[in-house]
């Protein structure tokens, strides 16, 4: 018998937003939101907004402070590319060739090599 699957109901009242600066929680309608450039921001299902992170704050002042903090953070192109590669490698069907990886990430082969080198270098630094 179909049509019996119950829709998952989300209690709207329990969904709270969290300030990225002070950690205070508040109802969504009080949230002050914006986007910042962040090369580590790669969402699993939103390739169009790679490199953009949505930030939420409790007030304009905190949003501006969050923005200022992200302006201090260098935007590393290789980090963004590595994120795109990671998303392709961990979702969908397996990638078998460099050409396929280039096609599915939208990157050129030299970019992919730079991203992999950046990723390995960072891992070495974190390990050692």
Chain residues in the site for Zn ion (CB under 5 A):
19, 21-22, 24, 58, 62
- Return the residue matching tokens 């939101």: 33
Which tokens hold the place of 110?
């030299």
Least gap, CB of 51 to Zn ion (angstroms): 24
Least gap, CB of 33 to Zn ion (angstroms): 12
Least gap, CB of 80 to Zn ion (angstroms): 27
Measured CA to CA, the distance from residue 57 to residue 34 in angstroms comes to: 9
Least gap, CB of 59 to Zn ion (angstroms): 6
CB 46 within 8 A of CB 33: no
Cα angle 90, 40, 46 (rounded to 5 degrees) comes to: 60
Q: Which one, 22 or 33, has the nearer CB to Zn ion?
A: 22
Q: Which residues neighbour 125 within 8 Å (Cβ) at sequence distance 6 or greater?
A: none
Q: Which one, 22 or 117, has the nearer CB to Zn ion?
A: 22
Residue 100 is classified by DSSP as: H
Residue 124 is classified by DSSP as: H
Q: Which one, 24 or 119, has the nearer CB to Zn ion?
A: 24
Q: Which one, 58 or 85, has the nearer CB to Zn ion?
A: 58
């Amino acid at each position: 018998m179909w049509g019996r699957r119950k829709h998952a109901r989300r209690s709207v009242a329990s969904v709270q937003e969290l300030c990225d600066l002070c950690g205070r929680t508040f109802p969504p309608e009080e949230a002050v939101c914006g986007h910042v450039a962040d090369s580590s921001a790669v969402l699993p299902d939103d390739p169009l907004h790679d490199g953009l992170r949505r930030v939420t704050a409790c007030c304009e002042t905190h949003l501006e402070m969050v923005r200022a903090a992200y302006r201090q953070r260098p935007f590393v192109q290789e980090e963004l590319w590595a994120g795109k590669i990671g998303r392709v490698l961990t979702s969908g069907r397996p990638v078998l060739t460099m050409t396929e990886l280039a096609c599915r990430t939208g990157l050129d082969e030299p970019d992919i090599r730079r991203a992999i080198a950046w990723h390995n270098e960072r891992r070495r630094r974190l390990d050692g």
